[in-house]
Structure 1
């Protein structure tokens, strides 16, 4: 078996919903990640859905997907014994991960300053909603708060919608990814110099980078970007641009973008299927021949030319809608891509499970659960290392390794 990138690195993780994905990334890369959990388990273990609807601390799919390849130890940090064992365990680590509110671990003798004094090479990573200092450091946090405070909700959704939350706890995921990056950089420095450090990650700061140019727009123009929905920055329906309903799902078209084949290639496809309607007639034929985002942008800067062309664009778009509605979603995606048109499948979980590209690359990884008598496919790692590949191991049962790990401390 090939070596793993983080073989020999020990990580002690005191994380639940904010930072557990960071621990997973390190564990899948080969680090020995020991997850310290409270009696009864944390929030993720009690979050549905559950495997085959069997509610329990060891069957939460939410916990499974964020905690692969780890070991689990149960310690009660509210007791002297639990704190003493946690400290002893932490001092065996190269890295400590935690996502408690600022000051929580320090009040229990497990803060950065105290542990760093005892082990100067320790990398101590804190992942919180707003960071370790500042006027909001102790504010209550959840993922929706992070998305709201990070600025992405104001950009998500249609213009007439209220601000939308992005699915999938994206503030927590962004914070965990940035924490993994920061931790590995600090670990590299510690290995070179013997000096550990405190890695302070704010979920608000991490997800704010997903705003694209919103912050720069304010800095340079003192103008807030607003929700534009599927239409983008030009607030009219453009043919070949946006989300279209297929027979059995949805596809995203971006044919006007400066990549792939241009709009006439889409009309060629429609013509072959007998669905071009009157697009070969004027005034539509000459407009279709030059349709592109630069052309539309130039036209829209002139109110007179815009008013003349908007009804024609709307008609062309209705013809495109009628054509896409005759196709299956996968058919529209695959045939469109064969023709080098920018067509994307709006994938459902079923589409992803059956996706030919993901299957061909072996992205899904079988994970055995002997105690359940099943093998379950998990999403694979988000990168491929040719010499030190990541591996997906079974998420631990609550306290599964307590006796084993504590025996190592003796």
Structure 2
């Protein structure tokens, strides 16, 4: 038994943040019914990169966030299609949507309407800026929220302009917030018997992640500068170029300073009492960083890492994506898995990174073909026969 077995999620969301959330919950046991637009489906089905096979091509973007779900096609602009959604919501535990503010209210599918037919429903609305506030009607994407939420302003090289991270951090972290919100609301429902509405703003989600940077502002009035890989409040914590032009990242606390100096033969720094504390090293950041940079520039990365790791100093090589995927620990932990796809055959995937005792572990499932489960879900959930499904499809509701 998986932890979320028996949980039914009606997923009206598209693109990345919420599909990522519902995929995580699906692989931990929830039944996720993904509702897609007839003919086209979730727009990420048309997003690159495409995996090619003799039987056709499939979006890798779509597959990355939509495994282990059922796909049904429903036209939300058609009254009969909306009736199907209302009937499915009447049986669901959770509904997830990320339409612009007011869209589903105009179609009679907002929380107020659906709570009438299912008071136990947990209804999560994920929008760019939330249901209220001066920005509520604005549109935005991941990078807009990174920019406005402060992350991009903190990221970049010394003296340089803002830089976005290499992953869509706002989308992915909002997906994690969505999963947390859903599970939290379900726990509340367990206690009260009633569902509720969750208003998740992706902008709010980014502001909430500012944590330590905001703490520096609250405590010191500081706006942390862009420092590349360096940490504003800890020295050393940075990536260093080694003799073979590879990079090694080191993050050390006070207890690591003496063994670090010994490993890198930094005798002058080791005997300087002021540098034995992080405060002293922060005050003399340029001196410390210059000395460490010189020492590491004289060593190949493998040798430098072996010395530091052997001395118990936290360090790790800066790996490219392809290096990560074949790393021995990644492989030993099963962090690259595969699913069987009807078009592509076996295809790699990154599993949910949780291991349980007392429940079955998450399993990697395959992403659905567009509308693959329409007949099965409507028959099982709503008792529709094939003739009724065909009739709804003919009238444009499915």
Task: State if a TM-score over 0.5 links the two structures.
Answer: yes
| Aligned pair partner of 1:318 in 294, 316, 321 | 294
After TM superposition, the score normalised by the length of structure 1 is 0.84
| Distance apart, 1:259 and its partner CA | 4.0
Q: Deviations over 1:299-339 (max 9, x none)?
A: 775xxxx6xx966863553232121xx344xx654553233
After TM superposition, the score normalised by the length of structure 2 is 0.86
d(CA) in 2 for partners of 1:310, 1:337: 24
d(CA) in 1 for partners of 2:233, 2:28: 44
| Aligned pair partner of 2:324 in 334, 352, 366 | 352
| Distance apart, 1:230 and its partner CA | 2.5
Q: Which residue of 2 aligns with 1:67?
A: 66
| Distance apart, 1:295 and its partner CA | 4.5
Q: Deviations over 1:268-293 (max 9, x none)?
A: 5xxxxxxxxxx6xxxxx333444886
CA contact (8 A) 2:337 2:349 kept: yes
d(CA) in 2 for partners of 1:34, 1:14: 8
d(CA) in 1 for partners of 2:244, 2:268: 30
Of 361-370 and 16-25, more deviation after overlay is shown by: 361-370
SS of 2:103 mapped into structure 1: coil
| Distance apart, 1:394 and its partner CA | 0.4
Q: Which residue of 2 aligns with 1:361?
A: 333
SS of 1:187 mapped into structure 2: helix
**What does 1:111-190 align with in structure 2 at a 5 Å threshold?**
111-190=110-189
| Aligned pair partner of 1:336 in 301, 304, 308 | 308
d(CA) in 2 for partners of 1:142, 1:54: 34
| Distance apart, 1:211 and its partner CA | 2.0
SS of 2:68 mapped into structure 1: coil
Q: Which residue of 1 aligns with 2:250?
A: 253
CA contact (8 A) 1:51 1:61 kept: yes
d(CA) in 1 for partners of 2:272, 2:333: 38
d(CA) in 1 for partners of 2:186, 2:151: 31
SS of 1:52 mapped into structure 2: strand
Q: Which residue of 1 aligns with 2:348?
A: 377
Q: Which residue of 1 aligns with 2:389?
A: none
d(CA) in 1 for partners of 2:136, 2:91: 29
SS of 1:213 mapped into structure 2: helix
| Distance apart, 1:239 and its partner CA | 7.7
User: Structure 2: which 5+ residue stretches go unaligned?
Assistant: 384-398
- Over the residues paired in the alignment, what is the CA RMSD in angstroms? 2.8
| Distance apart, 1:13 and its partner CA | 0.3
Q: Which residue of 1 aligns with 2:12?
A: 14
Q: Deviations over 1:219-275 (max 9, x none)?
A: 34433222122233389xx8885332463632212346544863233225xxxxxxx
d(CA) in 1 for partners of 2:11, 2:288: 59
| Aligned pair partner of 1:406 in 372, 378, 396 | 378
CA contact (8 A) 1:263 1:292 kept: no
SS of 1:231 mapped into structure 2: coil
Q: Which residue of 2 aligns with 1:49?
A: 49
d(CA) in 1 for partners of 2:106, 2:145: 25
Q: Which residue of 2 aligns with 1:387?
A: 358
Q: Which residue of 1 aligns with 2:214?
A: 215
d(CA) in 1 for partners of 2:28, 2:331: 21
SS of 2:316 mapped into structure 1: strand
Of 225-234 and 28-37, more deviation after overlay is shown by: 225-234
Distance 1:336 1:292, change over 3 A: farther
2:301 is equivalent to residue 267 of structure 1 = no
Distance 1:260 1:385, change over 3 A: farther
Q: Deviations over 1:164-223 (max 9, x none)?
A: 112221111111111111111111222333200001111112122332322233334433
User: Structure 1: which 5+ residue stretches go unaligned?
Assistant: 269-278, 280-284
| Distance apart, 1:100 and its partner CA | 0.8
Q: How many residues align?
A: 379
| Aligned pair partner of 1:287 in 252, 269, 286 | 269
